[in-house]
Amino acid sequence: MARFLMSKVTTIDRKRLLSMKKNATILLVILLCTAFSQAISQVIRHPQNTPKVDSAAFGEGFDSNSLILEDAMQEVEIDSNESYIQEFIRDKFRFQWGLRGSIVRSQLEFANIVPIRVNANGSPALVNGKLVRDQLRSNSKFSQQYSAGVFGRISRGSFFLQPELVYTAKGGIFDILGRDNNLLNRIDASVNVIDVPLLLGIKFRKARIFFGPVTSFAYSIGEDFQKGLRPYSTIPLNGSFLQRPVVNFMSGIGFEFEQFYFDFRYESGLSNYTDIDMGPASNPARFRFSSNLIMFSVGIIQ
């Protein structure tokens, strides 16, 4: 009997709880509808100081309904935000220029190769009558480099086009391993490049996002890079060693405060800076590398 009474009470409590939830839901919907209708009325409400229209005015062709509707449309137009397209149509083209400097964190990306050491005449190098093969392996560590340049910006509305001319030192870390995978040398490689980014972006408040291609003209490699590759190549390690131009891709986000700005950028290496054979001509190993980098930039814009 006690169990029956307890189950009965539990059933009644559940029904009351469901009824309370239902009532609360209905009340919430009513409140939301009321708030929404009040918000709408605030937007299209006719101003209280609207002059009254008398019968004589009606006789002259005035329509009170059309007058109220016209005022409401004007008020709605003022309260609404312009779209990016409307801003673009409204504004004129504007030109600015600026300077920027960057700290660059760069990483090399290439397929591991096992070239044979060569003599100055290009023949294979022998140690105790055996060929010497070393492994060139990319390292996930970043190399710290730098960048500096100038840019122009053509903007209209919230959209802008920003061509740049920048000197950038790119590169990364790679290891040279011996026959037993023992580390022979760790190279902090660097490549000197003139970059020409062409960035398309959009501004919102003090922030901006941008992206676009980067055309790179590499013209030399660092001294450590040359020393690391010299035992495996008879090719002069100068400008002819590098491919140019190379096209990469850049994207980023920035913030501006009057004439000062800073931004964060990421550049993805889409193309290789080299495409050459290492080792003797009879047994070459193809050497290609690209560079990915992260940049923190600061600068001024006029």
Average pLDDT value for the chain: 79
CATH number of the domain enclosing 265: 2.40.160.20
CA separation for the pair 1, 5 (Å, rounded): 6
Claim to verify: residue 64 and residue 119 sit in the same structural domain: no
Q: Are residues 170 and 268 in the same domain?
A: yes
Strands 159-177 and 135-138, by their bridges, are antiparallel
Residues whose CB is less than 8 angstroms from the CB of residue 192 and which lie 6 or more positions away in sequence, other chains included: 167, 169, 218, 219, 220, 221, 222
Lowest mean pLDDT among 72-76, 123-127, 143-147: 72-76
Residue 108 has pLDDT above 80, yes or no: yes
Domain assignment of residue 84, yes or no: no
Note whether 199 and 259 are same-domain residues.
Answer: yes
Single out the residue in 51, 79, 107 at which a domain terminates: 79
Residue 87 binned pLDDT confidence (cut-offs 50, 70, 90): confident
Which residues sit opposite 300 in a β-bridge? Answer: 99, 260
Of the candidate ranges 83-97, 109-123, 268-282, 283-297, the one whose mean pLDDT is the lowest: 83-97
Q: Which residues of 125-163 are buried (b: 16+ CB within 10 A; e: fewer)?
A: beeeeeebbbebbbbeebbebebebebebebebbbbbbe
Number of domains in the chain: 2
What span, in angstroms and rounded, lies between the C-alpha atoms of 230 and 233? 5
pTM of this prediction?
A: 0.68
E strand segments, the chain: 94-109, 126-127, 130-131, 135-138, 143-156, 159-177, 183-204, 207-221, 246-257, 260-268, 276-278, 285-287, 290-301
Residues 33 and 103 in one domain: no
What is the residue range of 41's domain?
2-79
Query: Could you tell me what percent of the chain has a pLDDT over 90?
Result: 52
